[in-house]
Amino acid sequence: MLTRKQTDLLLYINQRLQEDGISPSFDEMRDALGLKSKSGIHRLISGLEERGFIRRLAHRARALEVMRLPESAAANAGAPKAAMSNPVTTLGRPVAPPPNDLDLPLYGRIAAGTPIEALRDPDATVRVPAGMVGRGRHYALEVAGDSMINAGILDGDTVVIQDGPNYQPGEIVVALVDREEVTLKYMHQQGAMVALEAANPRYETRLLEPDRVQVQGRLVGLIREY
């Protein structure tokens, strides 16, 4: 699965190849995606190449070949208005989002001492495949730290959360502790207490009274940008 930025870049490159017959420069890619430096474009290009979505042509400047598109965008591969997540204007024409993808509100990095609603940037969103989410409201959250590393959740990852208090014991949830601290942990009952368990042996399991813990959502997906 591609990240939102990787999808944006791939579709932008494909659009420019169809319209101009030449791939955009790194400066143009940076501006189209709203990045601050070209180093981010280098990382995205490398990620797309590793996954077989593009190929660099040797001994030719600005020479990229699109090998394939994400399934959600393949139907529109021949259209000049290729899809990008944050609608921009390219060559004077608006670019629409791809079908079957959703923009979720993106909260900030999960941090102790900060209620989750305070983390939200009303202008920040992240694009996810529609198949990643089910019924109900969902949001995305940036992860800080290594407490869930053995569950495959790394510092800097973006997790997709189904909002609400419902969960099954043993699931990974976003928990609000004492109405102040937000944390991402496994949650289950241990006797009369609620256990918040990390996926890293460096961190001890926390046992808390049930009235100190409020579930604010359960993990349903993960996005990683390389």
Cα(7)–Cα(51) distance, integer angstroms: 12
36 tagged catalytic? no
Q: Which of 5, 23, 72, 185 is catalytic?
A: 185
Letter string b/e over residues 158-189, b meaning 16 or more CB atoms within 10 A of that residue's CB: bbbbbeeeebeeeebbbbbbeeeebbbbbbbe
Cα(75)–Cα(82) distance, integer angstroms: 10
Q: Is 209 exposed, middle or buried (0-12, 13-18, 19+ CB in 10 A)?
A: exposed
What DSSP state is assigned to residue 162?
Answer: E
> Residue 148's closest CA among 97, 195, 201?
201
185 tagged catalytic? yes
Q: Which of 23, 72, 85, 147 is catalytic?
A: 147
Cα(27)–Cα(109) distance, integer angstroms: 28
Residue positions annotated with a catalytic role: 147, 185
